[in-house]
Structure 1
Amino acid sequence: MLSSLHVKLNAINNNKYFQAFTVVVIILAALTIGAKTFELPDALSGAIQWLDVFILLFFLIEIIIKFFSYQNKLNFFKSGWNLFDTVIVIGSLIPTAGQGILIARLLRVFRVLRLVSAVPQLKLLINALFKAIPKMGYIAVLMFIIFYIYAVIGSLVFSDINEELWGDVSISMLTLFRIATFEDWTDVMYETMAVYPISWVYYLTFIFLTAFVFLNMMIGVVIETMTAEHALAEKDNESELPQLTADHQTRQIFATHQQVQSLHQELEEIKALLKSKPHQ
């Protein structure tokens, strides 16, 4: 009985229409959260409240179906996405009253993120992003070193020109971040060039390193990781299909009319021999 229940729930969980309906409900949940930030008529507010109850019940039923669709229930908790969905659903059950009202509302906002776990393509992107973070971390450390060196130079050279922008290392790093994001960086450069005409070298080399070199390195890491994730996903999909190896030989599936006639004739001869054989 449990085996048949597992098979039925697994079929429901993997049904494309059920998955599509889940995505629609998640989108409705996002819209209801946004609608509550407006001043609405009482009738519409009541309808949204009932819709929110329906969404919560559906999420609860959906997570129960997903849990019991696993033959080994411990495998359910081995997936980070399942744990994320469970936390969101359980958090949404917290009554929105008293001291827990803020936490409950925040968890309801995070229900929108369930769209990521419901769409395989989005899960692939997030998995690639998480796998790219360690490599991006090394690039970030190198960027911090460059920021720190330029911040020290800027504080030592330009602090007399503008104390608000170059007063110390921390303020200089904020100014450099402003330059790296191209936020009115030319005004900062022209201000120092009025005193040090050659200071444009300082800004252009910093922009070249941060905006062009390190940014492209970040993009390259993300693209490389995403390409590897797509290749791995395609390999997993192909592994579910029967594969032909070099040991497999091509076989003729369809027989000709002559071959069928020959086989039929041989069968008739075998039948005749069996009938003519005396019974012992």
Structure 2
Amino acid sequence: MSRLILSAQRQLSNIDDSKIFQGIVIAVILLSALLIGAKTHNLSANAIAVLLLMDVAVTVFFAIELSIRFFACPEKKYFFKSGWNIFDTVIVIGSLVPSGGSGILLARLLRVFRVLRLISIVPELRLLINALLKAIPRMGYIALLMFVIFYIYAAVGSMFFHEINEVLWGDVSISMLTLFRIATFEDWTDVMYETMIVYPLSWIYYLTFIFLTAFIFLNMMVGTVLEVMSQEHEKFRAEQHGESAEGGEPASRAQIDNLEKQLQEIKVLLLENK
């Protein structure tokens, strides 16, 4: 019995790892996205019936695909330790909810989120999302510093410019919204020229603010994301080649070269002793 189970598990694992099967899964996910878009148009009753039938077929396929992945996993308890597996399970189970009654809104939302399963299927997309999630804590400190700069400039702008335009500079909160508009370059020159009529040197205020936010802080954000993405790419490449250091962290190239050098020295010593 155990041999049959192992044999079936091996076959399911081969199916799950098959590029053809992965391609079919991606194609079905894209089909699901097209079905969601098609339902937003005014269609005939026959077309709606066909779409509902295809939606049921897609849901059944996703349930079968998730079952294959689950039973192909050697250790079932480790299957749900992966956040992506939990995400897929929630989406698939939610898709099985009938799209009628009080649960119609939840069912529709979960069917829309089925498109996100493309991220869990494609390793490169998972790599990007993992890098973005890991970069968020570092980006939080940059965002906090940006908030401080926004607040200082908003307070200064409200004190000097509120009499010029109460709508844009009435208080600190409104001034922060105006500064956000300036930081995104949305007709910011109109705001600047309006205040320059009363304060000719107010252009210094705007240019220094834009220099800090649009150039320095934005580049810091981009640099943080790129750094984390580089680390994730190195980790992914190490996992692909089976390279790992103690504690589950990927081994660096220097560590591998050093280990190979030590092995070569041991080999030379063994040959000399013979």
1:29 aligned to which of 32, 35, 42: 32
Residue 238 of structure 2 is matched in structure 1 by 235
Residue of structure 2 in register with 1:130 after alignment: 133
TM-score (norm 1): 0.86
Give the AA of the match of 1:155.
Answer: S
Q: Distance in 2 between matches of 1:15 and 1:55?
A: 20
The equivalent position to 2:91 in structure 1, one of 78, 84, 88, is 88
Which residue number corresponds to residue 187 of structure 1?
190
Equivalent residue number for residue 9 of structure 2: 6
What is the letter of the counterpart of residue 67 of structure 1?
A: F
> In the comparison of the two structures, how many residue pairs are matched?
249
- RMSD of equivalent CA atoms: 1.6
Q: In 2, distance between residues paired with 1:171 and 1:75?
A: 50
Match of 1:173 among 173, 176, 182: 176
Whole-angstrom CA distance in 1 between matches of 2:208 and 2:32: 48
Equivalent position of 2:41 in the other structure: 38
TM-fit CA distance, 1:125: 0.5
Q: Tell me the CA shift for residue 236 of structure 1.
A: 1.2
Cα deviations across residues 9-40 of structure 1 (Å, max 9, x unaligned)? 11111111101100000000000000000012
Moved over 3 A (4+): none
Mapped to 2, the partners of 1:112 and 1:193 lie a distance apart of 50
Task: Name structure 1 gaps, 5 residues minimum.
Answer: 251-280
The CA distance in 2 between the partners of 1:88 and 1:240, in whole Å, is 33
CA deviation string 1:232-251 (max 9, x = no partner)? 1111112269x89342569x
C-alpha distance in structure 1 between counterparts of 2:23 and 2:144, whole Å: 42
- Which residue matches 1:254? none
Structure-2-length-normalised TM-score: 0.88
Cα distance in 2, alignment partners of residues 32 and 87 from structure 1: 20
Deviations 1:74-101 (A, max 9, x none): 1110000000000001111111111111
State the alpha-carbon separation in 1 of the partners of residues 164 and 200 from structure 2: 13
- Structure 2, unpaired ranges of 5+: 245-255, 269-274
Amino acid at match of 1:34: G
- When you count helix as a share of all residues, which structure comes out higher? 2
Distance 2:148 2:19 in 1: 49
